[in-house]
Homo-oligomer: A and B are copies of this chain.
């Protein structure tokens, strides 16, 4: 049996599997935001095909949660993180802290929901918010970089529009910017999620951890 953990909605996984593999013997378990794909009696070609198909969303070939995977990578590399959350508002910190032992690598979280808090706590420039908006690539980047002090190695930020109000044509409800940054590098991505306010927040928190895992594998992996 081969196991893969994926950071993706189960419906999309099922659709892709059924479209691309005929007769594949698999089982999909979905617990909260974690998808576990178990494949039985498959040929090496089929396994390679699955890995290729889902290469952008597979985060582990062991049975571990996304947050646990991230915590392990941080721990192995002796890296600590801090998070600055706007739309996810505590969910991201909570997903880390739900893992026992996370205190070894989780330094702190800032839920900077108001603009004043973004400016005071994270040194986001007033001009950045007025020029680009609180929900923007630029604000997201400054939020994450504003965390990099006092020995914090990696900063993660989320800012977006969870709805139901607050959307516009240019930035509809579900638009979220996520940045992962250290002193040398950063990745900022824009997502557009659909769902309820709470779902949009959950998806954003999950993608933030996945973006961290990608960043760690690219820049740090032991």
Decide if A23 is an interface residue (CB 8 Å cutoff).
no
**What distance in Å separates the Cβ of A129 from its nearest Cβ neighbour in chain B?**
14
Q: In the complex, which residues of chain B have a beta carbon less than 8 angstroms from the beta carbon of A17?
A: none
* B106 and A113 contacting across the interface, CB-CB below 8 Å: yes
Question: What B residues does A127 contact at CB under 8 A?
Answer: none
Contact A100 B201, CB 8 Å, known A93-B89, A117-B108: no
Give the complex CA separation of A206 and B60 in angstroms. 33
Closest to A92 in B: B90
Q: Which residues of B contact A165 (CB under 8 A)?
A: 100-101
Whether B108 pairs with A97 at a CB distance below 8 angstroms is no
With an 8 A cutoff between CB atoms, is A54 at the interface? no
Number of copies: 2
In chain A, residues 87-114, which have Cβ atoms closer than 8 Å to a Cβ of chain B? 87-98, 100-103, 106-114
Of A91, A100, A109, A164, the most chain B CB neighbours within 10 A belong to A109
* Most-contacted residue by chain B among A89, A95, A164 (CB, 10 A): A89
User: In the complex, what's the smallest C-beta–C-beta distance from A79 to chain B, in angstroms?
Assistant: 14
Q: Which 9 A-B pairs have the closest CB atoms?
A: A109-B111, A89-B97, A90-B93, A90-B90, A90-B94, A108-B117, A93-B111, A91-B94, A106-B113
Can you identify 25 A-B contacts, CB atoms within 8 angstroms? A85-B90, A85-B93, A87-B97, A89-B90, A89-B97, A89-B109, A90-B90, A90-B93, A90-B95, A93-B111, A93-B113, A94-B201, A97-B111, A97-B201, A100-B197, A103-B114, A106-B114, A107-B116, A107-B117, A108-B111, A108-B121, A109-B109, A109-B111, A110-B110, A111-B111
